[in-house]
Amino acid sequence: MTPTFEYKGYLGSAEIDLTDDILHGKLMFIKDIVTYAAHSPQALKTAFEEAVDDYLQTCADLGDEPDVPFKGTFNVRVGLERHRRAALVAANLQVSLNDVVVRALDAWLNEGGKQPQPVHINIHLPESRTLVSSASPGQPSWETTRVH
């Protein structure tokens, strides 16, 4: 895991350059490029905090809105089939597609980034077929069932 600093909602990296014998970093997860450097870990932390303060002050002086690391929304490209399967699960559970994605992401994050155990959900469709779906990767499988 990359070592990070946190200050005023901003995250900063901490890296070492063995060639130049210096520590350096940058503000993470923003579009603007803000870097800092120092010769000791404590001085790097101070340089990081000064860089955040300077960035915020520069934005204010220019009348610009500072970029923030996280806005709470992001686009995810999941592919047609995964999108379809997730929409079917959401409809079956009577929740939003967003809720399904949040639950899946929470499950994955709670496992420390490891693949969570598959969760099987059977969705009964009018064509007398059942979509057997899971949270694990792979294609859905169809089971034909007889409706009485």
Q: Each residue of 55-82: pLDDT tens digit?
A: 999 999 999 999 999 999 989 999 999 9
pTM: 0.66
Considering the chain, what is the average pLDDT of its residues? 84
DSSP annotation of 109 reads H
Instruction: With cut-offs at 50, 70 and 90, classify the pLDDT of residue 131.
Output: very low
Band (1; pLDDT cuts 50, 70, 90): confident
Higher pLDDT, 146 or 97: 97
Nearest to 48 by CA among 30, 35, 66, 61: 35
Asked if 36 and 24 touch (Cβ cutoff 8 Å), the reply is yes
Helix (H) or strand (E) holding 17: strand 15-17
Mean pLDDT of 35-60: 98
Q: How far apart are CA 23 and CA 15, in angstroms?
A: 6
Structure tokens at 85: 């399967």
Integer angstrom CA distances of residue 126 from 87, 122, 139, 145: 16, 13, 20, 10
How many angstroms from the chain centroid is the CA of residue 12?
17
Q: Computed from CA positions of residues 71, 75, 76, 80, in that sequence, does the dihedral angle turn out positive or negative?
A: positive
Residue 143: per-residue pLDDT: 45
